[in-house]
Amino acid sequence: MSKNTAMQSDLENLIKYLSKLPGLGNRSAKRLALHLLKNKTSLMLPLAESIYRTAENIKKCTECGNYDTAEICNICSDAKRDNSIICVVEDVADLWAMDRSGMYRGKYHVLGGTLSAMDGVGPEDLNIPKLLQRTKNEEVKEIILATNATVQGQTTAFYINDKLKDLGKNITRLAHGIPIGGELDFLDEGTLNTAMQARKAV
């Protein structure tokens, strides 16, 4: 792109940064940059301001790894939530998804990823030591391993289960099976097998 004399370096830089965002290539980054320039006051400046403000104000909760403006996030400090259950998730997006359902009123623990030998991610790179520390608290009775149903997610759940199993706590995981609204014809064999094996009496 450096040979393209028609493009100024500020704009080239912006496109470079935009193309580093997940799911965006060079072409979509160009489109975004032009869209921003076309909507300078309504979108471009407010977006930059919003990125700055978020970068400044939002930090990781030292207890669970959720993002919040406070040291201890509003979930961890919520007295109305059940302290005896910790739901372990991979990412903050998973925490949001669980909390959106409104069914779960316990606490969370965000790992910040999954174990991966290929990417060189070990237990010390994730928020696992803090989880082990939290689960030693007498108040905690149950740990729900709600990592994704992927190979990496299951491996990570397996590892954590191994570390926690001698503490004498209830360790559970989310049920696997047919998603509500799911049509059998569109589901993969792994899901169908799991659902068949875990079938229940009506």
Q: Which of 26, 58, 158, 165 lies at the binding interface for a copy of itself (CB under 8 A)?
A: 58
Q: Which of 63, 65, 68, 126 lies at the binding interface for a copy of itself (CB under 8 A)?
A: 68
- CA distances (Å), 3 to each of 13, 35, 152, 176, in order? 14, 23, 42, 53
Provide the minimum distance between the beta carbon of 101 and a copy of itself in the complex, in angstroms, as a whole number: 11
Q: Which is nearer to a copy of itself, 39 or 133 (CB)?
A: 39
Query: Does 35 contact a copy of itself by CB under 8 A?
Result: yes
**Cβ 176 vs Cβ 147: under 8 Å:** no
Q: How far apart are CA 96 and CA 99, in angstroms?
A: 5
Q: Which is nearer to a copy of itself, 92 or 128 (CB)?
A: 92
Residue numbers 75-134 binding a copy of itself by CB under 8 A: 75, 91-93, 95-96, 99-100
Residue numbers 166-185 binding a copy of itself by CB under 8 A: none
Residues near a copy of itself (CB under 8 A) are 4-8, 10-11, 13-14, 17-18, 20-23, 28, 30-37, 40, 43-55, 57-58, 66-69, 74-75, 91-93, 95-96, 99-100
